[in-house]
């Protein structure tokens, strides 16, 4: 049986974008897992993994951290289950989109909604995140809040690529969702869970895909909630 260590907020909210990628991947593979909450400052619980970030997946004697490595591990270890990528070539292309999502789409999204994450963290975690992220982003929390609106045009520009693709097919992977959809949507699910900040224009055709993916996330969360 699998165990996924994932981030949790003060009321046990599971909003981590990278953990959502792993949640989607486990559900796609139709696997069962135990989901263990880890707070940002609770590095002890995942010390066995030899690093300090979630998600961490444990499968028997195997420990895998990093969302991409987890997806590749699941694909390789459970080849009889539905494929996350649809072949080796598709895996390589999925990795490219995974990197694009994390390194191009995510930064302006972070700058728009990260300020709202503190409301979901206890004091210790909130202090840790505020300090570490202020340092990472090179700006104060107040500055981050003040300029959040400035990042919307860039984010919308990046979304345009998704829009073009989603005009032709309902999911990034084609007629049904696969890891490429989870990789991108996982980041949006984070925003969706921590913030009410409006990311989309009213008549944005990304919305249909977004709605489908959000419903899928809600079904996964409900199933996990029932099992724990
Ligand atoms: N490359 C990793 C990134 C994982 C990551 O950054 N996780 C965040 C939670 S969203 C984390 O554990 N942060 C711990 C910290 O900032 O101390 C992945 O794809 O899984």
pLDDT in tens, 182-194: 999 999 999 999 9
Q: Where are the alpha helices (H) located in 47-178, listed in sequence order? A: 67-77, 88-100, 106-113, 123-137, 141-146, 152-168
Report pLDDT for 152. Answer: 96
Q: Which atom of ligand 1 is nearest to the CA of 38?
A: 12
Q: For 205-222, what is the mean pLDDT?
A: 95
Q: Which atom of ligand 1 is nearest to the CA of 132?
A: 16
Q: Which residues line ligand 1 (CB under 6 A)?
A: 7, 16-18, 40, 52-55, 66-68, 132
Report pLDDT for 205. Answer: 82
Taking alpha carbons only, the member of 52, 60, 65 closest to residue 21 is 65
Q: What mean pLDDT, rounded, does the chain reach?
A: 96
pLDDT digits (tens, 9 = 90+) for 148-184: 999 999 999 999 999 999 999 999 999 999 999 999 9
Q: For 84-94, what is the mean pLDDT?
A: 97
SS3 174: strand
Q: For 134-145, what is the mean pLDDT?
A: 97
The pTM score is 0.97
Q: CA–CA separation, 18 vs 52, rounded Å?
A: 13
pLDDT of 228 strictly over 70: no
């Amino acid at each position: 049986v699998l165990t996924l260590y994932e981030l949790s907020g003060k009321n046990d909210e599971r909003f981590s974008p990278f953990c959502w990628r792993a949640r989607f991947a486990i559900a796609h593979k139709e696997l069962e897992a135990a989901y263990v909450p880890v707070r940002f400052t609770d590095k002890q619980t995942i010390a066995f993994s030899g690093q300090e970030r979630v998600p961490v997946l444990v499968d028997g004697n195997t420990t895998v951290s990093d969302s991409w490595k987890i997806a590749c591990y699941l694909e390789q270890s459970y080849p009889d289950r539905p494929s996350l990528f649809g072949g080796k070539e598709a895996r390589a292309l999925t990795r490219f989109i995974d990197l694009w999502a994390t390194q191009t789409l995510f930064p302006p999204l972070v700058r728009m909604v990260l300020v709202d994450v503190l409301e979901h963290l206890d004091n210790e975690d909130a202090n840790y995140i505020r300090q570490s992220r202020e340092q990472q982003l090179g700006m104060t929390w107040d500055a981050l809040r003040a300029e959040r609106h400035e990042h919307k045009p860039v984010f919308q520009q990046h979304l345009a690529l998704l829009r073009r693709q989603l005009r032709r097919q309902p999911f990034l992977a084609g007629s049904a969702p696969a890891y490429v959809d989870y990789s991108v949507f996982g980041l949006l699910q984070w925003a969706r869970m921590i913030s009410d900040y409006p990311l989309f224009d009213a008549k944005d055709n990304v919305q249909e895909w977004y709605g489908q993916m959000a419903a899928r996330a809600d079904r996964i969360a409900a199933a996990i909630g029932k099992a724990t």
